[in-house]
Amino acid sequence: MPPAPRRMLVTVAHPDDETFGMGSTIAHYAASGVEVHVACATRGEAGEIAPGSDATVETLGEVREAELRAAAEVLGAHRVHLLGFRDSGMIPAEQNGDPNVFINAPEADVIAALTRLIRDVRPLVVVTMPPDGGTGHPDHIRICQLTTKAFKLAAHPGYIEPGGIVHAPAKLYYKEYPQAFIEAVATVRPEMMEHLRQSGIDKFGVDDDAISAEIDVSDVLATRMKANACHVSQGSPFDMLPPEMVPEVLGTDYFTRAIPSWNGGEKERDLFAGL
Ligand SMILES: [Zn+2]
């Protein structure tokens, strides 16, 4: 039997999450021949506009979609899939009365869209944002929760509503930030950490021993920095990183394996390990 095609699906909430959070993972696997698909829930309409960008509140969604597509091309992604929801902003769901934003979209609709995508793309590996969203953004937390549900339902023959042919991806990972990473970023970007703290987040990242996979992505740092630069309207959080710190801060990507769950032991060095 021929080996299963090496496909990966990466799910994120906004344009730039695929690069600032996942860029090295996408570039590393694309460079090694994996067909990487990027699914983005929204067009990032509610983001802050960085100085130096021509975007306006009216054009931001359009501008960020173009930035996402440009960055995905730089990273070597095979295809970008937009799920078509609206950016919720940082406002908590209970205060956000807009029924069209991602955080308020009916769970069944989001799960159906993600399940259909998993059945169409047929990935071996799915990667999504961490359970705490990394920055605490409600859209980040939701894409993690609902990707996890869709991962299970895609394989369920009784779940017929989204259509498509049932498919069981082999593994689900959360892209995490261990404490050591957070401390390294905090030393060079204290104002970024302060900004997050003001958003009500007092603990960043996961304990180092919760990490189940560490992937050396130092081969794609130049590509990743090029993709960062595509997101002019947002400004890269890594712009202030002194070049000599780039390999230390961005040379390794960290994950927890959500499915099948990880019970300790040797860390994986490849998300396709054992497949
Ligand atoms: Zn985001």
Considering the domain boundaries, does residue 162 fall inside one? yes
In this prediction, residue 93 carries a pLDDT of 60
In this prediction, residue 187 carries a pLDDT of 79
The number of domains in the chain is 1
Q: Give me ligand 1 centre to Cα 7, in Å.
A: 23
Q: Is the pLDDT of residue 196 over 90?
A: no
Task: Categorize the per-residue pLDDT at 94 as very low, low, confident or very high, splitting at 50, 70 and 90.
Answer: low
In this prediction, residue 76 carries a pLDDT of 98
In this prediction, residue 95 carries a pLDDT of 64
Q: Is the pLDDT of residue 204 over 80?
A: no
Q: Give me ligand 1 centre to Cα 152, in Å.
A: 24
Q: Give me ligand 1 centre to Cα 140, in Å.
A: 6
CATH number where 84 lies = 3.40.50.10320
Considering the domain boundaries, does residue 139 fall inside one? yes
Considering the domain boundaries, does residue 53 fall inside one? yes
Q: Give me ligand 1 centre to Cα 12, in Å.
A: 7
Sheet holding 125-128, edge to edge: 79-85, 35-42, 7-12, 125-128, 171-176, 252-259, 213-216
Q: Give me ligand 1 centre to Cα 137, in Å.
A: 7
Q: Give me ligand 1 centre to Cα 21, in Å.
A: 9
Considering the domain boundaries, does residue 1 fall inside one? no
Considering the domain boundaries, does residue 21 fall inside one? yes
Q: Give me ligand 1 centre to Cα 101, in Å.
A: 14
What pTM did the predictor assign? 0.94
Question: The tokens 């960020």 sit on which residue?
Answer: 64
Q: Give me ligand 1 centre to Cα 158, in Å.
A: 33
Q: Give me ligand 1 centre to Cα 15, in Å.
A: 7
Written in H, E and C, the secondary structure of the chain is: CCCCCCEEEEEECCCCHHHHHCHHHHHHHHHCCCEEEEEEEECCCCCCCCCCCCCCCCCHHHHHHHHHHHHHHHHCCCEEEEEEEECCCCCCHHHCCCCCEHHHCCHHHHHHHHHHHHHHHCCCEEEECCCCCCCCCHHHHHHHHHHHHHHHHCCCCCCCCCCCCCCCCCEEEEEECEHHHHHHHHHHCHHHHHHHHHCCCCCCCECHHHCCEEEECHHHHHHHHHHHCCCCCCCCCCCCCCHHHHHHHHCEEEEEEEECCCCCCCCECCCCCCC
Higher pLDDT, 136 or 124: 124
Task: List, for residues 243-252, the tens digit of each pLDDT value.
Answer: 888 888 889 9
Q: Give me ligand 1 centre to Cα 231, in Å.
A: 12
Considering the domain boundaries, does residue 71 fall inside one? yes
Q: Give me ligand 1 centre to Cα 98, in Å.
A: 18
Q: Give me ligand 1 centre to Cα 133, in Å.
A: 8
Considering the domain boundaries, does residue 165 fall inside one? yes
Kindly state the tokens that stand for 146: 């609902």
Task: List, for residues 180-191, the tens digit of each pLDDT value.
Answer: 777 777 777 777
Domain of 14 in residue numbering reads as 7-259
Q: Is the pLDDT of residue 275 over 70?
A: yes
Q: Give me ligand 1 centre to Cα 134, in Å.
A: 9
Q: Give me ligand 1 centre to Cα 215, in Å.
A: 22
Task: List, for residues 231-240, the tens digit of each pLDDT value.
Answer: 999 988 887 7
Considering the domain boundaries, does residue 99 fall inside one? yes
Q: Give me ligand 1 centre to Cα 207, in Å.
A: 22
Q: Give me ligand 1 centre to Cα 19, in Å.
A: 10
